[in-house]
Structures are given as structure tokens and as C-alpha cells.
Amino acid sequence: MERKIIYSAVQPSGNLTIANYVGAIRNWVALQSDYDCFFAIADLHAVTVRQEPAELRRRTLELAALYIACGIDPEKCALYVQSHVSAHAELCWILNTLTYVGEASRMTQFKDKSLKHAENVNMGLMDYPVLMAADVLLYQTDLVPVGADQKQHLELARDLALRFNNRYGETFRIPEPYILKGSARIASLQDPAKKMSKSDENPNASVFLSDDRDTILRKFKRAVTDSGNTVVCAEDKPGVSNLLQIYCSFKGCTVPEAERAFEHTGYGDFKLAVGETVADALAPVQAEQQRLLADKSYLSQLLKQGADRAFYAARKTLSKVYRKMGFYRGE
């Protein structure tokens, strides 16, 4: 039986948070055994915002090492750097000819990033969702793990696939969203009404996968709680509820179990326990990442292996696209 194809990518821009780990990377580990997975380091997407070249190169390798340290197996999936497979950019150009300006300008992320980077509103920002559509459609993807902030982009990918198929004949599979079961929504430690973000200006709002133990404990000690002194998950206790979700995500227990464990615990000791649980869970990941980064030639070899696999699958799709559109290929 043919396995379904999953595609997902993360930008190598800024440190990843525990929310990225719990909501995305850790779930990929489970998916790679049951699906044909393409996991990309989305460096082409990253340059829509100005990047320091040396930093971009460093973070790309760090992210590759982090993927593997978290359990992504390059033998089971295609783990590669997006820019190493030129078909992403080629298909993006083709899809641009099918994308209406109104569609691209309505994208929420384009509006948000244009406000944040008013000095650098470039065409790449507007074209970001079209490149994302190319990423997904290249691999005849069946399922795309998405969060709420990416659903609009997946809808565009579906629309463009249908538009191409209707105009040129059946070519692309129509991707469906893959809703990850049991993924907790991890919020900011300083404002639980917002999601935890790697771009948050408050340094105490997010816990990064690269944070050392002392930094992790300090951030949790400063995390906002709520009025009262009971550790329970409730609508009127967003701060405590967020900390409980984090604790359960890293401890592997249910919220009721955690509530019972902290039934007679004050907020100070509770926050310390959450911090220690997170630090303990991240320690082996950080150690393995550093071990991998010490052998850059080995990492490069694994990424080339993933790019070769991705190139083969992408080229099949792109060749079909060029043929359907009438491009002369000298055949």
C-alpha cells in the first residue's frame, strides 16, 4: 500500500522555542514511520527578511542538527535545505503566473510582516505564500501539518493546484491539512493570551531550545501566573493553565494528573518544577545537537542525501508541469 506524503518546513531564522518543538518537530518524529516525509529547512523563505549571510549559514546547520537530535531520521525521510533543490524556485515562478495580485495581497502574513518590516516591504514577502504552495505541490503532498496561522496559505496552495489542473489537465494532488492530535498550544510566559513566538521582543516570554538550564529556570520563575494560589487549569487562570500544558507536554502526563501532583504546591515551587522538567527534557537534545555540529562534514553529507531524494521527487513533478504547459524540452 502506497504511503501518503507529508511535507513540512521550518525557517532557520532565529532560535526555535519549546512551542516549535512540541507543536511541530516532536510530532514529525512520529509521522516519519507512517508517511513518506519531506522535511525542509526553509532558507528561501527566510530571506524575505534581511539576513546576515554568516548567521544564516550557521543557523541552517544548527537547525539540521537539531532536527536529528530531536529524533528525525535522515534514513526514513528527506531532510534537506530548501535552496538545494532549485525546483522550489522554478515552480514558484510558474505558480506566480496563476496567482492574482488580489489573492497575494490579502494574505494575513503579508500584511503583518509588512507592518513589522515597513522599511523592507519586498516582493518576496508578497510571494511567500506562492513559494509555500510550490514547496507543497512539488512533492505531490497529501497532508500538510498546519497551525492556525498557516491555514490561509494552504488554502492558496489548494486553489492554485485546482486552477492549474483545470487549465492544463490533472497534474497536482490537492493537499489536505493534517491536524496534529494532542498538540498543546503553548503560550507566551509573559502574556498567555499570545502564542509563544521566537520573535517576541520580551526575552522572558519565550523559552528557546538553545537556552541553558539556568536561563530556562529563570524564565519560568518569572512566568506570569494568576490570582489565587491553586494549580488548576481553568479559563480564569490562563497563566497557570499555560504552565500546566507545558509541564504535561514535557512530562508526558495528563492535566488532571498534574493538578493532583501540585494540589498542595505554591506557585513558586510549581514554576520551578515546570522549569526543571523542561530543562531535563531538553538537556539530551542539546547535547546531541552539539555532538552533531562538531562534525559538519557528516551533517553536510546527510543534507546532500536528503536533497538528492527531494530533487528526484521534485523533478518528476516539475517535468510534468513543463510538459503540460507546452515548454519545449528538446525531446
Q: Which residues are catalytic?
A: 113, 195, 198
Pairing of strands 78-81, 36-41: parallel
Q: Which residues pair with 6 in a beta bridge?
A: 37, 143
Q: Which residues pair with 5 in a beta bridge?
A: 36
Collapsing DSSP to helix, strand or coil, 11 comes out as coil
Residue 276, CA distances (Å) to 70, 229, 231, 238 in order: 19, 20, 17, 21
DSSP letter, residue 37: E
Q: Is residue 196 within 8 Å of residue 188, measured between CB atoms?
A: yes
Q: Is residue 186 within 8 Å of residue 246, measured between CB atoms?
A: yes
Distance of CA 15 to the CA centre of its chain: 12
Distance of CA 124 to the CA centre of its chain: 19
Instruction: For Cα atoms 256, 261, 264, give the angle at the middle one, nearest 5 degrees.
Output: 115
Q: Which of 132, 130, 133 is CA-nearest to residue 172?
A: 133
